[in-house]
Structure 1
Amino acid sequence: MEGGHSLTITTNYPPAPASPNPQDERDQIKANREFENLWIQRNDVETTLRSALNHLKSCCVILNLSAKCDERLQVSMSHGTTEKYQLMSRTGSSDSLKAAVTLLDDNVIQAEVTIKYPKAGGGFFRAVAQPDVQWKLQQLQDLGNHISRVTYNGDGGEKDHFNSTTGKRILEELKSTMNEISLARNSIMLPRKRSLLELCYFPPTRKFNPPLPQDQLISFYISCCRLVCASYQMVPKTVHPQGLSVFMAESQLPHLDDVIKHLNIVMNIVQKLISYLSATM
């Protein structure tokens, strides 16, 4: 260059960006989850529980559970009324088995059966049971017990005292509620039959007048919200390979259909809240 001067160019590059700190990212994710969890506790828990309890209250009214459920539900005291149901045959010919059952809540007050029975005069056996012993349908009793227990579950805590510990407690209570509701549903959706040996020694079985023939047993149970009467007759294996002829009659119980609808709603809204809380834990 002219004059002997040299030109020096200095370039100042900006500092390289710092590498993201994985720990910082994890801390931020955790903080976001905690924020979401507290938001759910403050805004969703109370609303969900109130809605669930309203549906459970309806179940308590339908099933006359005022003496069993939490008094905070303010279910008016009531006494059940007797209902008579006509059960019609669902297997074989329509006259294979007919029954009429009078219920008072979960108690069988009276049962009348007409069974196709070749050994009886006229080919039919008729009997009435009006037992002087308690004859409860255990499935209906279980239904009431599970529902009443749910009504005593926690109320979600105080709005101003939510934290991660209360979130875990609420989640456990919600899971307990789901379990009880599931058991309540199953008690009237899934059949629960006594074994033939149990039926032989079941006191109400011996209360029919005239007495059941020695080769005949009668059972009553709930299945899919229906009251079912089953007649079991011992027959030669040449007639039936298992040596047992079974006839069934049934009647829909409309009030149980209503109970199932309420329980399904409770399960849906509680499961949704469980999913939200679990995702933020």
Structure 2
Amino acid sequence: MATAMAASAAERAVLEEEFRWLLNAEVHAVLKQLQDILKEASLRFTLPGPSTEGPTKQENFILGSCGTDQVKGVLTLQGDALSQADVNLKMPRNNQLLHFAFREDKQWKLQQVVGGSSQIQDARNHVSQAIYLLANRDESYQFKTGAEVLKLMDAVMLQLTRARNRLTTPATLTLPEIAASGLTRMFAPTLPSDLLVNVYINLNKLCLTVYQLHALQPTSTKAYSQGSTSFFPSEWGSQRLEVSHVHKVECVIPWLNDALVYFTVSLQLCQQLKDKISVFSSYWSSRPF
């Protein structure tokens, strides 16, 4: 019995020493690694700021789809805003070619929520908050418990998940919301009344969607199916409309692809550290000490 107790005490002493090393050394090593990765992610979001010298560089993206040539476009991205747009649309019924472009005095924030920031700005803000949380625990800080580390990792993972979701899950806008957003008024010549345009980020892609509308008869209540999606009539004043065609084209933004990879790697590091802490926690809870 005494031998078993001595062995248990020795085992516990070894585990306690390993746990202290984990809290005092490995945790800070992981925090430093996370900061380095997230700083690289933050640099990918080329947004203008107080210390920015000169205008943010412009990037041109040629949008297209392998499934259709109905819509072709070139969009110019400057930070988190569209500074130029040049779009050609071939009307499906008569093959008439429509051309419209941004007015020279206009810019458009990518899916900016009412009273808030754009998708790109929101994602960068969440990354900055994650970096702030990590920087608050410098190498001189002594973690006292595993629960304290878990709480920090949960807070960092929450910010990273929000950053990723802001890019991977764009807000679902109704047709009236798209019409009221003001994007359609950015173009010259003025878009026909039966067209709506939406531009947004989805994952690592810049997406342009054009909706062609059709006026319904006053007695019609049907829904129109485009592919696997049903679009129900929406009202502007007394007019009821339905979507007759949807055209979507897109293009990969390389630096957004990099940022999403950094988010994934960072989330994995956070989870791995949580798992290590949990191994010790489960051991303590299962031993009669």
Asked if TM exceeds 0.5, the reply is: yes
Higher relative contact order (CA 8 A, sep 6+): 1
- Give the structure 2 partner of residue 72 of structure 1: none
2:102 equivalent to 1:129: yes
Contact 2:35 2:134 in 1 (8 A): no
Tell me: CA distance 1:84–1:192, structure 2 relative to 1, closer, same or farther (3 Å): same
**TM-score, scaled relative to structure 2:** 0.74
Deviations 1:121-155 (A, max 9, x none): x6122111237455211221221111111111144
Q: Tell me the CA shift for residue 188 of structure 1.
A: 2.0
Q: Tell me the CA shift for residue 279 of structure 1.
A: 2.9
**Cα distance in 2 for residues equivalent to 1:193 and 1:131:** 28
Q: Tell me the CA shift for residue 192 of structure 1.
A: 3.1
Tell me: CA distance 1:77–1:127, structure 2 relative to 1, closer, same or farther (3 Å): closer
Q: Which has the higher strand share?
A: 2
Q: Tell me the CA shift for residue 104 of structure 1.
A: 0.6
Aligned to 1:259, the other structure's residue is in SS state helix
Aligned to 1:152, the other structure's residue is in SS state helix
Q: Which amino acid aligns with 1:276?
A: K
Tell me: CA distance 1:239–1:201, structure 2 relative to 1, closer, same or farther (3 Å): closer
- Give the structure 2 partner of residue 115 of structure 1: 89
Aligned pairs, number: 250
Output aligned runs, 1:19-30, within 5 Å.
none
- Give the structure 2 partner of residue 4 of structure 1: none
- Give the structure 2 partner of residue 3 of structure 1: none
- Give the structure 2 partner of residue 73 of structure 1: none
**TM-score, scaled relative to structure 1:** 0.76
Match of 1:82 among 58, 65, 75: 58
**Cα distance in 2 for residues equivalent to 1:175 and 1:87:** 38
Output aligned runs, 1:1-281, within 5 Å.
35-64=17-46, 67=49, 80-91=56-67, 93-94=68-69, 96-117=70-91, 123-130=96-103, 132=105, 135-137=108-110, 138-155=118-135, 156=137, 159=140, 161-164=142-145, 167-235=146-214, 240-241=224-225, 242=231, 243-244=242-243, 245-281=245-281
Deviations 1:72-126 (A, max 9, x none): xxxx9565300111111355x31x1112111111011112221122688x61221
Deviations 1:172-230 (A, max 9, x none): 11111111111212222234342211111112321211111111100001112011100
Deviations 1:210-257 (A, max 9, x none): 111111100001112011100111137899544411011111111111
Aligned to 1:194, the other structure's residue is in SS state coil
Deviations 1:149-174 (A, max 9, x none): 1111144355574422xx43332111
**Cα distance in 1 for residues equivalent to 2:123 and 2:141:** 36
Aligned to 1:279, the other structure's residue is in SS state helix
Tell me: CA distance 1:252–1:162, structure 2 relative to 1, closer, same or farther (3 Å): closer
Contact 1:83 1:102 in 2 (8 A): yes
Contact 1:142 1:184 in 2 (8 A): yes
Q: Which amino acid aligns with 1:109?
A: S
Q: Which amino acid aligns with 1:233?
A: Q
**Cα distance in 1 for residues equivalent to 2:254 and 2:91:** 31
Tell me: CA distance 1:276–1:88, structure 2 relative to 1, closer, same or farther (3 Å): same
**Cα distance in 2 for residues equivalent to 1:130 and 1:40:** 58
Contact 2:48 2:56 in 1 (8 A): no
**Cα distance in 1 for residues equivalent to 2:171 and 2:34:** 27
Aligned to 2:19, the other structure's residue is in SS state helix
**Cα distance in 2 for residues equivalent to 1:181 and 1:90:** 33
Q: Which moved more, 1:188-197 or 1:253-262?
A: 188-197
